């Protein structure tokens, strides 16, 4: 009897999910929309940077970047999260960004994650390690908390970052 009741519940739950993911409910928002679009994502990215730059594990990588390079990375990361969260972006993609150094507009093609991360050398003489990815995620999480991103959405964004782990961690550390 208990098993029967469980089966009915699961069928109903499955039906509800299918309805909302087919657009049956007009107020079902994508994670992208719930994050506040590209502007909301960019705010989370911006607010993660102080943490990334001062983190004892990975700070050195970010402190070494020029202001122009940092802006380009922020735009690329925003586009990547926009694409993965169901927004109207693709990734990798070509961006136009305004340099904070000279105010000039530049175009840049954001690279796939392996190309952007393999082969870096940190102070320990090694590339990005697993705990560096943990630190990166912790900074983004801290920023999402600061910006009042709901818990389930935080988990969704952290899962997006997690899905890049294998490409980001240096092959020498595997
Ligand atoms: C785990 C998820 C991560 C994601 C989704 C991510 C995402 C990105 C993106 C979108 C870019 C820009 C790519 C480009 O310029 O073409 C980038 C560049 C970069 N990332 Fe990550 N990243 C992650 C982890 C890390 C970690 C753990 C570090 C630690 C050091 C790191 C350090 C850097 C640096 C230094 C650059 C600039 C590389 C360059 O300009 O050559 N990233 N990342």
Within the chain, strands assigned E span 94-98, 105-109
Q: Would you say the pTM of this structure is higher than 0.75?
A: yes
For the stretch 26-64, pLDDT in tens is 568 999 999 999 999 999 999 999 999 999 999 999 999
Name the stretches of the chain with pLDDT < 70: 1-27
All residues at 6 or more sequence positions from 8 whose CB lies less than 8 Å from its CB, including other chains: none
Of ligand 1's listed atoms, the one at least distance from the Cα of 79 is 10
CATH superfamily label, 2-19+34-173: Globins (1.10.490.10)
Residue 20 is predicted with a pLDDT of 34
Place of tokens 């994050």: 35
* Residue-level pLDDT at 85: 98
Q: Give CA angle at 147 (146, 150), nearest 5°.
A: 105
User: Could you please report the per-residue DSSP string of 83-131?
Assistant: HHTT-S--SS-EEEEE-TTT--EEEEEPPPHHHHHTT---TTS----HH
Of the candidates 110, 117, 153, 157, the one whose C-alpha atom is nearest the C-alpha of residue 137 is: 157
For residue 60, the model assigns a pLDDT of 93
Ligand 1 pocket, Cβ-based, cut-off 6 angstroms: 58, 61, 69, 72-73, 76-77, 80, 110-111, 116-117, 128, 132-133, 136, 161, 164-165, 168
- The minimum-distance atom of ligand 1 relative to the CA of 76 is 10
């Amino acid at each position: 009897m208990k098993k029967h009741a469980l089966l009915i519940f699961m069928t109903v739950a499955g039906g509800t999910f299918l309805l909302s993911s087919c657009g049956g409910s007009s107020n079902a928002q994508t994670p992208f929309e719930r994050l506040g679009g590209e502007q909301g994502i960019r705010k989370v990215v911006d607010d993660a940077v102080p943490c990334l730059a001062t983190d004892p594990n990975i700070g050195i990588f970010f402190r070494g970047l020029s202001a122009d390079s940092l802006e380009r990375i922020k735009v690329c990361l925003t586009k990547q999260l926009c694409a993965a969260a169901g927004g109207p972006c693709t990734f990798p993609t070509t961006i136009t960004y305004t340099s904070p150094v000279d105010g000039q507009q530049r175009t840049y093609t954001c690279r796939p994650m392996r190309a952007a991360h393999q082969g870096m050398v940190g102070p320990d003489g090694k590339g990005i390690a697993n705990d560096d990815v943990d630190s990166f995620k912790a900074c983004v999480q801290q920023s999402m908390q600061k910006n009042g991103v709901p818990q389930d959405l935080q988990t969704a964004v952290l899962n997006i970052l997690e899905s890049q782990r294998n490409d980001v961690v240096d092959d020498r550390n595997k």
